[in-house]
Structure 1
Protein backbone atom coordinates (compact mmCIF):
# COMPACT_ATOMS: atom_id res chain seq x y z
CA UNK A 1 0.00 0.00 0.00
CA UNK A 2 2.78 2.44 0.93
CA UNK A 3 4.57 1.64 -2.32
CA UNK A 4 1.45 2.66 -4.26
CA UNK A 5 1.51 6.01 -2.48
CA UNK A 6 5.20 6.93 -2.41
CA UNK A 7 6.67 5.22 -5.47
CA UNK A 8 7.41 7.82 -8.19
CA UNK A 9 5.15 7.49 -11.23
CA UNK A 10 4.23 9.59 -14.23
CA UNK A 11 1.20 10.78 -12.24
CA UNK A 12 3.00 12.00 -9.12
CA UNK A 13 6.36 12.98 -10.61
CA UNK A 14 5.36 16.65 -10.56
CA UNK A 15 4.75 16.45 -6.80
CA UNK A 16 8.16 14.85 -6.28
CA UNK A 17 9.96 17.44 -8.41
CA UNK A 18 8.20 20.38 -6.76
CA UNK A 19 8.97 19.09 -3.25
CA UNK A 20 12.65 18.40 -3.95
CA UNK A 21 12.96 21.80 -5.65
CA UNK A 22 11.48 23.70 -2.68
CA UNK A 23 13.65 21.82 -0.17
CA UNK A 24 16.72 22.55 -2.32
CA UNK A 25 15.87 26.27 -2.47
CA UNK A 26 15.40 26.30 1.29
CA UNK A 27 18.76 24.55 1.77
CA UNK A 28 20.54 27.04 -0.49
CA UNK A 29 18.92 29.97 1.29
CA UNK A 30 17.23 31.17 -1.89
CA UNK A 31 13.89 31.24 -0.09
CA UNK A 32 13.04 31.78 3.57
CA UNK A 33 10.49 29.90 5.70
CA UNK A 34 7.94 32.70 5.41
CA UNK A 35 8.05 32.44 1.62
CA UNK A 36 7.27 28.73 1.85
CA UNK A 37 4.25 29.60 3.92
CA UNK A 38 3.09 32.28 1.49
CA UNK A 39 3.57 30.16 -1.62
CA UNK A 40 1.29 27.46 -0.23
CA UNK A 41 -1.15 30.18 0.72
CA UNK A 42 -1.14 31.45 -2.88
CA UNK A 43 -1.70 27.90 -4.10
CA UNK A 44 -5.33 28.19 -3.03
CA UNK A 45 -5.85 30.80 -5.76
CA UNK A 46 -3.97 28.68 -8.31
CA UNK A 47 -6.20 25.70 -7.51
CA UNK A 48 -9.28 27.84 -8.14
CA UNK A 49 -7.95 29.08 -11.49
CA UNK A 50 -7.20 25.56 -12.69
CA UNK A 51 -10.59 24.36 -11.49
CA UNK A 52 -12.31 27.08 -13.54
CA UNK A 53 -10.27 25.96 -16.57
CA UNK A 54 -11.38 22.36 -15.93
CA UNK A 55 -15.00 23.51 -15.85
CA UNK A 56 -14.47 25.32 -19.15
CA UNK A 57 -12.92 22.20 -20.70
CA UNK A 58 -15.88 20.15 -19.47
CA UNK A 59 -18.17 22.45 -21.45
CA UNK A 60 -15.96 22.73 -24.54
CA UNK A 61 -14.80 19.09 -24.74
CA UNK A 62 -17.42 17.24 -22.71
CA UNK A 63 -21.17 17.07 -22.53
CA UNK A 64 -21.87 19.68 -19.84
CA UNK A 65 -23.52 23.05 -20.34
CA UNK A 66 -23.60 26.19 -18.25
CA UNK A 67 -21.07 28.99 -18.52
CA UNK A 68 -23.00 30.68 -15.72
CA UNK A 69 -21.83 27.90 -13.39
CA UNK A 70 -18.24 29.01 -13.96
CA UNK A 71 -19.15 32.60 -13.06
CA UNK A 72 -20.95 31.37 -9.94
CA UNK A 73 -17.93 29.27 -8.96
CA UNK A 74 -15.53 32.20 -9.40
CA UNK A 75 -17.77 34.42 -7.27
CA UNK A 76 -18.33 31.79 -4.57
CA UNK A 77 -14.72 30.63 -4.50
CA UNK A 78 -13.45 34.20 -4.58
CA UNK A 79 -15.61 35.09 -1.58
CA UNK A 80 -14.33 32.02 0.25
CA UNK A 81 -10.72 33.01 -0.49
CA UNK A 82 -11.35 36.61 0.63
CA UNK A 83 -12.69 35.54 4.03
CA UNK A 84 -9.84 33.07 4.46
CA UNK A 85 -7.29 35.70 3.43
CA UNK A 86 -8.51 38.24 5.97
CA UNK A 87 -8.14 35.68 8.73
CA UNK A 88 -4.70 34.59 7.50
CA UNK A 89 -3.37 38.14 7.06
CA UNK A 90 -4.42 38.91 10.63
CA UNK A 91 -2.25 35.99 11.77
CA UNK A 92 0.65 36.87 9.47
CA UNK A 93 0.71 40.41 10.87
CA UNK A 94 2.07 38.96 14.12
CA UNK A 95 5.47 38.48 12.50
CA UNK A 96 8.11 41.13 12.01
CA UNK A 97 9.42 40.00 8.60
CA UNK A 98 6.37 41.05 6.60
CA UNK A 99 3.81 43.28 8.28
CA UNK A 100 0.25 43.45 6.97
CA UNK A 101 -1.03 46.61 8.57
CA UNK A 102 -4.60 46.10 7.42
CA UNK A 103 -5.89 42.49 6.99
CA UNK A 104 -8.88 43.74 4.98
CA UNK A 105 -6.70 45.41 2.33
CA UNK A 106 -6.46 42.23 0.27
CA UNK A 107 -5.07 43.68 -2.97
CA UNK A 108 -2.28 45.54 -1.17
CA UNK A 109 -1.44 42.51 0.98
CA UNK A 110 -1.27 40.14 -1.98
CA UNK A 111 0.91 42.73 -3.68
CA UNK A 112 3.34 42.53 -0.76
CA UNK A 113 3.54 38.75 -1.15
CA UNK A 114 4.03 38.83 -4.92
CA UNK A 115 6.75 41.48 -4.55
CA UNK A 116 8.81 39.40 -2.16
CA UNK A 117 12.24 38.95 -3.68
CA UNK A 118 12.31 35.15 -3.35
CA UNK A 119 8.68 34.41 -4.28
CA UNK A 120 9.78 34.24 -7.93
CA UNK A 121 11.80 31.12 -7.12
CA UNK A 122 9.12 29.25 -5.17
CA UNK A 123 5.85 30.10 -6.94
CA UNK A 124 6.77 28.49 -10.32
CA UNK A 125 7.17 25.14 -8.54
CA UNK A 126 3.53 25.20 -7.43
CA UNK A 127 2.28 26.32 -10.85
CA UNK A 128 4.40 23.62 -12.50
CA UNK A 129 2.82 20.93 -10.30
CA UNK A 130 -0.76 21.89 -11.14
CA UNK A 131 0.03 22.46 -14.81
CA UNK A 132 1.59 19.01 -15.09
CA UNK A 133 -1.31 17.35 -13.28
CA UNK A 134 -3.83 19.18 -15.44
CA UNK A 135 -2.39 17.89 -18.73
CA UNK A 136 -1.34 14.38 -17.64
CA UNK A 137 -4.36 13.60 -15.50
CA UNK A 138 -7.40 15.73 -16.33
CA UNK A 139 -6.77 16.06 -20.07
CA UNK A 140 -4.80 12.83 -20.47
CA UNK A 141 -7.49 10.70 -18.83
CA UNK A 142 -10.35 12.69 -20.38
CA UNK A 143 -11.94 13.47 -17.03
CA UNK A 144 -14.01 16.15 -18.73
CA UNK A 145 -16.12 13.24 -20.00
CA UNK A 146 -16.37 11.50 -16.62
CA UNK A 147 -17.58 14.39 -14.46
CA UNK A 148 -20.16 17.08 -15.07
CA UNK A 149 -19.53 20.74 -14.40
CA UNK A 150 -21.38 20.74 -11.06
CA UNK A 151 -19.20 17.92 -9.72
CA UNK A 152 -16.03 19.70 -10.78
CA UNK A 153 -17.24 22.96 -9.24
CA UNK A 154 -17.15 21.48 -5.73
CA UNK A 155 -14.04 19.33 -6.18
CA UNK A 156 -11.36 21.74 -4.81
CA UNK A 157 -12.96 22.45 -1.44
CA UNK A 158 -11.77 19.32 0.35
CA UNK A 159 -8.20 19.87 -0.83
CA UNK A 160 -8.04 23.55 0.10
CA UNK A 161 -9.66 22.95 3.48
CA UNK A 162 -6.88 20.52 4.37
CA UNK A 163 -4.26 22.77 2.83
CA UNK A 164 -5.30 25.97 4.58
CA UNK A 165 -5.62 24.21 7.93
CA UNK A 166 -2.04 22.98 7.61
CA UNK A 167 -0.75 26.36 6.38
CA UNK A 168 -2.43 28.38 9.13
CA UNK A 169 -1.26 25.90 11.78
CA UNK A 170 2.28 26.07 10.43
CA UNK A 171 2.20 29.87 10.40
CA UNK A 172 2.22 30.00 14.18
CA UNK A 173 5.46 28.01 14.32
CA UNK A 174 7.15 29.82 11.42
CA UNK A 175 6.21 33.33 12.53
CA UNK A 176 6.48 32.97 16.30
CA UNK A 177 9.22 30.38 16.84
CA UNK A 178 12.92 30.89 16.26
CA UNK A 179 13.22 27.57 14.39
CA UNK A 180 11.15 28.63 11.40
CA UNK A 181 13.25 26.67 8.93
CA UNK A 182 12.38 23.38 10.63
CA UNK A 183 8.71 24.29 10.59
CA UNK A 184 9.01 25.12 6.87
CA UNK A 185 10.63 21.73 6.18
CA UNK A 186 7.88 19.96 8.09
CA UNK A 187 5.26 21.95 6.15
CA UNK A 188 6.80 20.95 2.81
CA UNK A 189 7.08 17.28 3.83
CA UNK A 190 3.57 17.16 5.26
CA UNK A 191 2.15 18.72 2.11
CA UNK A 192 4.22 16.22 0.12
CA UNK A 193 2.60 13.35 2.02
CA UNK A 194 -0.95 14.74 1.67
CA UNK A 195 -0.48 15.39 -2.07
CA UNK A 196 0.86 11.87 -2.67
CA UNK A 197 -2.04 10.29 -0.78
CA UNK A 198 -4.57 12.31 -2.75
CA UNK A 199 -2.78 11.52 -6.01
CA UNK A 200 -2.77 7.81 -5.14
CA UNK A 201 -6.56 7.84 -4.91
CA UNK A 202 -7.04 7.42 -8.63
CA UNK A 203 -9.25 5.24 -10.80
CA UNK A 204 -8.59 1.47 -10.56
CA UNK A 205 -5.94 1.94 -7.84
CA UNK A 206 -5.51 -0.24 -4.76
CA UNK A 207 -5.59 2.83 -2.54
CA UNK A 208 -8.94 3.94 -3.97
CA UNK A 209 -10.35 0.43 -3.53
CA UNK A 210 -9.12 0.23 0.06
CA UNK A 211 -10.40 3.66 1.14
CA UNK A 212 -13.78 3.30 -0.60
CA UNK A 213 -14.25 -0.12 1.02
CA UNK A 214 -13.69 1.41 4.47
CA UNK A 215 -16.02 4.36 3.84
CA UNK A 216 -18.86 2.50 2.09
CA UNK A 217 -22.14 1.85 3.90
CA UNK A 218 -25.79 1.08 3.17
CA UNK A 219 -26.56 4.66 2.12
CA UNK A 220 -23.37 5.17 0.11
CA UNK A 221 -22.25 2.07 -1.83
CA UNK A 222 -18.63 1.48 -2.73
CA UNK A 223 -18.90 2.64 -6.36
CA UNK A 224 -20.52 5.91 -5.33
CA UNK A 225 -17.78 6.52 -2.77
CA UNK A 226 -15.16 5.79 -5.43
CA UNK A 227 -16.50 8.43 -7.79
CA UNK A 228 -16.72 11.01 -5.01
CA UNK A 229 -13.16 10.29 -3.87
CA UNK A 230 -11.78 10.61 -7.39
CA UNK A 231 -13.57 13.93 -7.81
CA UNK A 232 -12.62 15.40 -4.41
CA UNK A 233 -8.94 14.49 -4.80
CA UNK A 234 -8.61 16.33 -8.11
Structure 2
Protein backbone atom coordinates (compact mmCIF):
# COMPACT_ATOMS: atom_id res chain seq x y z
CA UNK A 1 0.00 0.00 0.00
CA UNK A 2 2.89 2.36 0.79
CA UNK A 3 4.10 2.28 -2.82
CA UNK A 4 0.87 4.00 -3.86
CA UNK A 5 1.58 6.95 -1.55
CA UNK A 6 4.05 8.86 -3.68
CA UNK A 7 4.46 12.18 -5.46
CA UNK A 8 4.10 10.36 -8.80
CA UNK A 9 0.68 8.99 -7.87
CA UNK A 10 -0.36 12.30 -6.34
CA UNK A 11 0.50 14.02 -9.62
CA UNK A 12 -1.56 11.49 -11.59
CA UNK A 13 -4.56 11.97 -9.30
CA UNK A 14 -4.22 15.75 -9.55
CA UNK A 15 -4.14 15.62 -13.35
CA UNK A 16 -7.16 13.31 -13.47
CA UNK A 17 -9.13 15.60 -11.17
CA UNK A 18 -9.03 18.34 -13.82
CA UNK A 19 -11.66 16.76 -16.13
CA UNK A 20 -13.74 15.89 -13.04
CA UNK A 21 -13.65 19.57 -12.10
CA UNK A 22 -14.60 20.34 -15.69
CA UNK A 23 -17.68 18.11 -15.45
CA UNK A 24 -19.00 19.67 -12.23
CA UNK A 25 -18.01 23.31 -12.66
CA UNK A 26 -17.36 23.97 -16.35
CA UNK A 27 -20.14 21.90 -17.92
CA UNK A 28 -17.87 19.48 -19.76
CA UNK A 29 -19.45 16.40 -21.32
CA UNK A 30 -18.13 13.19 -22.92
CA UNK A 31 -17.24 14.95 -26.17
CA UNK A 32 -15.18 17.52 -24.25
CA UNK A 33 -13.35 14.87 -22.22
CA UNK A 34 -12.45 12.86 -25.33
CA UNK A 35 -10.85 15.98 -26.84
CA UNK A 36 -9.07 16.62 -23.56
CA UNK A 37 -7.68 13.07 -23.42
CA UNK A 38 -6.40 13.27 -27.00
CA UNK A 39 -4.67 16.56 -26.11
CA UNK A 40 -3.21 14.96 -22.98
CA UNK A 41 -1.79 12.16 -25.14
CA UNK A 42 -0.05 14.76 -27.30
CA UNK A 43 1.35 16.46 -24.21
CA UNK A 44 2.65 13.14 -22.84
CA UNK A 45 4.49 12.52 -26.10
CA UNK A 46 5.82 16.07 -26.43
CA UNK A 47 7.18 16.11 -22.88
CA UNK A 48 8.76 12.69 -23.38
CA UNK A 49 10.57 13.85 -26.51
CA UNK A 50 12.02 16.71 -24.44
CA UNK A 51 13.06 14.21 -21.76
CA UNK A 52 14.76 11.83 -24.20
CA UNK A 53 16.55 14.70 -25.94
CA UNK A 54 17.73 16.17 -22.62
CA UNK A 55 19.04 12.80 -21.41
CA UNK A 56 20.92 12.28 -24.66
CA UNK A 57 22.71 15.63 -24.52
CA UNK A 58 23.31 15.39 -20.77
CA UNK A 59 24.54 11.79 -20.56
CA UNK A 60 25.56 10.43 -23.98
CA UNK A 61 29.23 11.01 -23.14
CA UNK A 62 28.98 10.59 -19.37
CA UNK A 63 30.77 7.51 -18.07
CA UNK A 64 28.19 6.82 -15.35
CA UNK A 65 25.56 6.33 -18.07
CA UNK A 66 27.79 4.51 -20.56
CA UNK A 67 28.93 1.99 -17.95
CA UNK A 68 25.37 0.71 -17.41
CA UNK A 69 24.81 -2.67 -19.06
CA UNK A 70 21.98 -2.57 -21.61
CA UNK A 71 20.67 -5.46 -23.68
CA UNK A 72 19.35 -3.25 -26.44
CA UNK A 73 19.12 -4.14 -30.10
CA UNK A 74 18.16 -2.23 -33.22
CA UNK A 75 17.57 1.52 -32.92
CA UNK A 76 19.33 3.10 -29.96
CA UNK A 77 20.75 6.38 -28.64
CA UNK A 78 19.76 9.54 -30.49
CA UNK A 79 18.05 7.45 -33.18
CA UNK A 80 15.37 6.51 -30.66
CA UNK A 81 14.05 10.08 -30.56
CA UNK A 82 12.74 10.29 -34.17
CA UNK A 83 11.68 6.64 -33.90
CA UNK A 84 9.58 7.49 -30.83
CA UNK A 85 8.02 10.48 -32.62
CA UNK A 86 7.01 8.25 -35.54
CA UNK A 87 5.77 5.40 -33.34
CA UNK A 88 3.94 7.72 -30.98
CA UNK A 89 2.40 9.51 -33.93
CA UNK A 90 0.78 6.24 -34.95
CA UNK A 91 -1.01 6.04 -31.58
CA UNK A 92 -2.26 9.60 -32.00
CA UNK A 93 -3.48 8.76 -35.50
CA UNK A 94 -5.45 5.79 -34.11
CA UNK A 95 -7.06 8.05 -31.50
CA UNK A 96 -8.03 10.51 -34.24
CA UNK A 97 -9.63 7.70 -36.27
CA UNK A 98 -11.55 6.42 -33.24
CA UNK A 99 -12.73 9.93 -32.43
CA UNK A 100 -13.86 10.53 -36.00
CA UNK A 101 -15.53 7.12 -36.25
CA UNK A 102 -17.68 7.61 -33.16
CA UNK A 103 -18.47 11.32 -33.45
CA UNK A 104 -18.38 11.94 -37.23
CA UNK A 105 -16.15 14.92 -36.48
CA UNK A 106 -12.79 15.87 -37.98
CA UNK A 107 -10.43 16.11 -35.01
CA UNK A 108 -8.14 18.55 -36.82
CA UNK A 109 -11.07 20.95 -37.24
CA UNK A 110 -12.42 20.71 -33.68
CA UNK A 111 -9.02 20.56 -31.95
CA UNK A 112 -8.65 24.39 -31.80
CA UNK A 113 -11.59 24.36 -29.36
CA UNK A 114 -9.12 23.13 -26.73
CA UNK A 115 -7.35 26.49 -26.83
CA UNK A 116 -10.48 28.41 -25.89
CA UNK A 117 -12.56 28.92 -22.75
CA UNK A 118 -11.83 26.62 -19.81
CA UNK A 119 -9.93 24.04 -21.86
CA UNK A 120 -6.87 26.23 -22.25
CA UNK A 121 -6.57 26.62 -18.47
CA UNK A 122 -6.93 22.87 -17.92
CA UNK A 123 -4.27 22.06 -20.52
CA UNK A 124 -1.96 24.76 -19.14
CA UNK A 125 -2.26 23.21 -15.67
CA UNK A 126 -1.34 19.76 -17.02
CA UNK A 127 1.56 21.18 -19.05
CA UNK A 128 3.01 23.03 -16.05
CA UNK A 129 2.59 19.94 -13.85
CA UNK A 130 4.36 17.68 -16.34
CA UNK A 131 7.17 20.18 -16.93
CA UNK A 132 7.71 20.44 -13.16
CA UNK A 133 7.86 16.64 -12.86
CA UNK A 134 10.28 16.49 -15.81
CA UNK A 135 12.63 19.05 -14.25
CA UNK A 136 12.56 17.10 -10.98
CA UNK A 137 13.38 13.85 -12.82
CA UNK A 138 16.26 15.41 -14.74
CA UNK A 139 17.92 17.35 -11.95
CA UNK A 140 16.85 15.81 -8.63
CA UNK A 141 16.58 12.13 -9.46
CA UNK A 142 19.78 10.54 -8.04
CA UNK A 143 19.89 8.10 -10.98
CA UNK A 144 19.35 10.67 -13.74
CA UNK A 145 23.07 10.76 -14.60
CA UNK A 146 22.93 7.03 -15.48
CA UNK A 147 20.03 7.23 -17.93
CA UNK A 148 19.98 7.46 -21.70
CA UNK A 149 17.03 7.62 -24.13
CA UNK A 150 17.24 3.81 -24.28
CA UNK A 151 16.28 3.57 -20.60
CA UNK A 152 13.16 5.73 -20.75
CA UNK A 153 11.86 4.99 -24.25
CA UNK A 154 8.91 2.86 -23.07
CA UNK A 155 7.97 4.97 -20.02
CA UNK A 156 4.93 6.75 -21.54
CA UNK A 157 3.48 3.72 -23.31
CA UNK A 158 1.36 2.40 -20.41
CA UNK A 159 -0.32 5.81 -20.15
CA UNK A 160 -0.73 6.01 -23.91
CA UNK A 161 -2.49 2.62 -23.87
CA UNK A 162 -4.78 3.90 -21.10
CA UNK A 163 -5.51 7.00 -23.18
CA UNK A 164 -6.42 4.84 -26.18
CA UNK A 165 -8.87 2.84 -24.10
CA UNK A 166 -10.38 5.99 -22.57
CA UNK A 167 -10.93 7.62 -25.96
CA UNK A 168 -12.78 4.48 -27.12
CA UNK A 169 -14.83 4.29 -23.90
CA UNK A 170 -15.49 8.03 -23.91
CA UNK A 171 -16.58 7.95 -27.53
CA UNK A 172 -19.05 5.18 -26.70
CA UNK A 173 -20.36 7.20 -23.74
CA UNK A 174 -20.77 10.23 -26.01
CA UNK A 175 -23.23 8.18 -28.05
CA UNK A 176 -25.29 6.62 -25.24
CA UNK A 177 -25.18 9.49 -22.74
CA UNK A 178 -23.09 12.46 -23.76
CA UNK A 179 -23.98 14.66 -20.79
CA UNK A 180 -24.96 12.10 -18.12
CA UNK A 181 -22.72 12.83 -15.14
CA UNK A 182 -22.70 9.20 -13.99
CA UNK A 183 -21.06 8.05 -17.23
CA UNK A 184 -18.52 10.86 -17.09
CA UNK A 185 -17.52 10.03 -13.52
CA UNK A 186 -17.11 6.34 -14.46
CA UNK A 187 -14.90 7.41 -17.37
CA UNK A 188 -12.67 9.60 -15.19
CA UNK A 189 -12.45 7.07 -12.32
CA UNK A 190 -11.52 4.28 -14.75
CA UNK A 191 -8.72 6.37 -16.21
CA UNK A 192 -7.39 7.35 -12.78
CA UNK A 193 -7.30 3.74 -11.56
CA UNK A 194 -5.65 2.48 -14.75
CA UNK A 195 -3.11 5.34 -14.74
CA UNK A 196 -2.02 4.55 -11.19
CA UNK A 197 -2.07 0.80 -11.78
CA UNK A 198 0.17 1.00 -14.84
CA UNK A 199 2.44 3.61 -13.24
CA UNK A 200 3.18 1.26 -10.33
CA UNK A 201 3.41 -2.00 -12.27
CA UNK A 202 6.90 -3.51 -12.14
CA UNK A 203 7.61 -4.23 -15.79
CA UNK A 204 11.13 -5.47 -15.03
CA UNK A 205 9.76 -8.39 -13.00
CA UNK A 206 7.24 -9.10 -15.74
CA UNK A 207 10.02 -9.13 -18.34
CA UNK A 208 12.14 -11.50 -16.22
CA UNK A 209 9.23 -13.94 -15.91
CA UNK A 210 8.63 -13.74 -19.64
CA UNK A 211 12.30 -14.49 -20.31
Interval containing the TM-score (normalised by the shorter chain):
0.7 to 0.9
Distance in 2, Cα, partners of 1:88 & 1:178: 14
CA contact (8 A) 1:35 1:118 kept: no
Match for residue 42 of structure 1? 39
Matches within 5 A, 1:1-234: 1=1, 3-5=2-4, 7=5, 9-63=6-60, 66-93=77-104, 100=105, 103=106, 107-111=108-112, 113-115=113-115, 117-141=117-141, 144-177=144-177, 180-201=180-201, 208=202, 216-217=208-209, 220=211
Output the TM-score relative to the length of structure 2. 0.74
Higher relative contact order (CA 8 A, sep 6+): 2
Aligned length: 197
Distance in 2, Cα, partners of 1:195 & 1:134: 17
CA RMSD of the aligned region, Å?
A: 3.0
Structure 2 stretches of 5 or more lacking a match?
62-75
Distance in 2, Cα, partners of 1:83 & 1:216: 30
Q: 1:87 to 1:197 in 2, by over 3 A?
A: closer
Q: Runs in 1 of length 4+ with deviation above 6 angstroms?
A: none
CA-CA distance at 1:137 after TM superposition: 3.5
Match for residue 97 of structure 1? none
CA contact (8 A) 1:174 1:183 kept: no
Judging by fraction of residues, say which structure has more helix: 2
Distance in 1, Cα, partners of 2:93 & 2:166: 18
Output the TM-score relative to the length of structure 1. 0.68
